[in-house]
Amino acid sequence: MEILVVDDGSEDGTAALAREEGCRVLVHPRTCGPVVAKNTGLAAATGDYVMFMDSDDRMRKGVLPLLCRELEADPAVSAVQAKVQDFLSPDCPAGPQIRPEPYYGLFTGAVLIRRDVFDEIGPFPASLQAGEMIDWSGRMERKGLIIKKIDLISTDRRIHGSNFGRTHRDVEFKDYAALLRARIQALKDLK
């Protein structure tokens, strides 16, 4: 198992801490955004399975071996998707709504993927700043690749004032709209 940390312009000492913990750190010379950071990690990954984790989320203890066993049990499954549980960060001002129940969401920290899937469908679109997992699941679906959902909470998703979706809402909406247009066009092309 390897842990790769992509330092995409961090100013909080994360890279140094990651190195102290024995992680391999990949540094972008300038901030490129979360999608490009994921592609940087993907390009450097050497394992058979890949899971991405955003710096503000937490993987629950013991989850990774369970997800690995699910993939190993069925070679026809290309990815295993678990549930996410939102939590409000203690430093967040009151107000943001969180989902009280665990849910299946297209968050990279809740999906373990066979590495060779990316050889077949390609990396995340570098033109996006948000919505890369929506694009990814659509490409998986078009290729007939199976994403198995399991009833397990894998990740605690921290809700705070500087979540990308809060600080870059205009970019997020633009990317989601572009993905929706592409999906509609793909459906039209099938007819």
Task: Give pLDDT tens digits for 7-24.
Answer: 988 888 888 999 999 999
Query: Could you give the 3-state DSSP secondary structure of residue 153?
Result: strand
Superfamily of 48-190 according to CATH: Spore Coat Polysaccharide Biosynthesis Protein SpsA; Chain A (3.90.550.10)
pLDDT in tens, the chain (191 residues): 899 999 988 888 888 999 999 999 999 988 888 889 999 999 999 999 999 988 788 899 999 999 999 999 999 999 999 999 988 877 776 666 778 899 887 777 899 999 999 999 999 888 877 778 788 888 888 899 999 999 999 999 887 555 545 554 565 666 656 666 676 676 677 66
DSSP secondary structure of 26-77: EE-SS---HHHHHHHHHHH--SSEE----TTEEEPTTHHHHHHHHHHH-TTE
Q: What does the domain layout of the chain look like in residue ranges? A: 48-190
